[in-house]
């Protein structure tokens, strides 16, 4: 099965992704990986990073989102300690209106705290894969899946829930579906959004020979374009 095989490959990159996040994200915000929930300040810094991954977030929404999550620090800590997944989802995915937090940001916050921060290993299998532009493009363009929800799809939609269930059931045994979020690294580093030009050069680049999932991609080496033949 395609997704089962892809999940196995991605799972072997976990130590690399943890190291990457430590070096290029957590070190920049001055938070140790196992101390994201150690105090309010560390938590706020992680939240600030996650909120800034949203494109074109409005200043007023950013301010409200920071205030909202700042006030939920104790609740989130308690839910994680007590394995209260439903309450954790409620507080992260259902903030007040005009905060600007959807499935992508909410899922990223939980991924940072649980997958990378290892706040509660037992909850990790519940984590939802954040659907951003890179992840969606790799799923659709490279793995040729036709049921991928849009970036703005709410977590309550049938399509979003069905797709997350597909990832969970088709991931290899004992490999949580959250490893599929490593596809954002592939989309960002190995498979940028490239397009051919009349001069036979691309505005982006495709490092197909280095890609972790090159054996499953529906395309041949993307350095070659139809107009080159």
Give the pLDDT confidence score for residue 228 in this predicted structure: 43
Query: For the chain, how big is the Rg over CA atoms in Å?
Result: 18
Residue 220 has pLDDT above 80, yes or no: no
How many CA atoms lie less than 13 Å away from 69 in the CB half-sphere? Answer: 29
Beta bridge partners of 191: 206
Reported as a single tens digit per residue, the pLDDT across 58-96 is 888 899 999 999 999 999 999 999 999 999 999 999 888
Give the pLDDT confidence score for residue 225 in this predicted structure: 46
DSSP conformation class of 156: T
Give the pLDDT confidence score for residue 133 in this predicted structure: 93
Beta bridge partners of 67: none
Predicted TM-score (pTM) of this structure: 0.90
Reported as a single tens digit per residue, the pLDDT across 98-107 is 788 899 999 9
**Residue 111: which of 134, 136, 93, 94 has the closest Cα?**
93
Sequence-ordered strand ranges (E) for 15-109: none
Element (H, E) at 174: none
Reported as a single tens digit per residue, the pLDDT across 117-128 is 999 999 999 999
For residues 56-90, b (16+ Cβ closer than 10 Å) or e, as one string?
Answer: eeeeeebebbeeebeebbebbbebbeeebbeebbe
Q: Return d(Cα 127, Cα 139) in angstroms, integer.
A: 18
- Contact present, 150 and 70 (Cβ < 8 Å): no
Degrees to nearest 5, angle at CA 208 with 207 and 209: 95
Q: Return d(Cα 193, Cα 81) in angstroms, integer.
A: 40
For helices 59-71 and 40-51, what crossing angle results, to 10°?
150
Q: Return d(Cα 161, Cα 24) in angstroms, integer.
A: 31
What is the Cα 177 distance to its own chain's centre?
Answer: 11
Residue 172 has pLDDT above 50, yes or no: yes
Rounded to 10 degrees, the C-alpha dihedral 57/63/68/74 comes to 110
Is 169 in a helix, a strand, or coil? helix
């Amino acid at each position: 099965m395609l997704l089962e095989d892809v999940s196995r490959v991605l799972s072997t990159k976990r130590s690399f992704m943890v190291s990457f996040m430590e070096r290029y994200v957590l070190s920049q915000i001055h938070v140790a990986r196992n101390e994201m929930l150690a105090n309010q300040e560390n938590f706020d810094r992680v939240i600030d990073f996650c909120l800034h991954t949203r494109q074109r977030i409005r200043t007023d929404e950013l301010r409200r989102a920071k205030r909202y999550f700042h006030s939920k620090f104790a609740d989130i800590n308690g839910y994680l300690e007590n394995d209260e997944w439903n309450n954790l989802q409620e507080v992260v995915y259902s903030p007040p209106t005009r905060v600007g937090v959807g499935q992508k940001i909410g899922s990223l916050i939980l991924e940072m705290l649980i997958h990378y921060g290892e706040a509660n290993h037992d909850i990790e299998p519940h984590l939802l894969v954040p659907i951003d532009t890179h992840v969606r493009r790799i799923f659709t363009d490279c793995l040729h899946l036709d049921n991928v929800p849009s970036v703005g799809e709410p977590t309550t939609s049938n399509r979003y829930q069905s797709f997350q269930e597909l990832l969970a059931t088709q991931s290899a045994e004992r490999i949580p579906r959250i490893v599929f979020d490593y596809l954002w690294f592939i989309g960002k580093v190995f498979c940028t959004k490239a397009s051919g030009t009349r001069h036979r050069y691309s505005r982006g680049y495709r490092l197909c020979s280095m890609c972790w999932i090159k054996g499953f991609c529906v395309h041949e080496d993307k350095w070659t374009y139809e107009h080159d033949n």
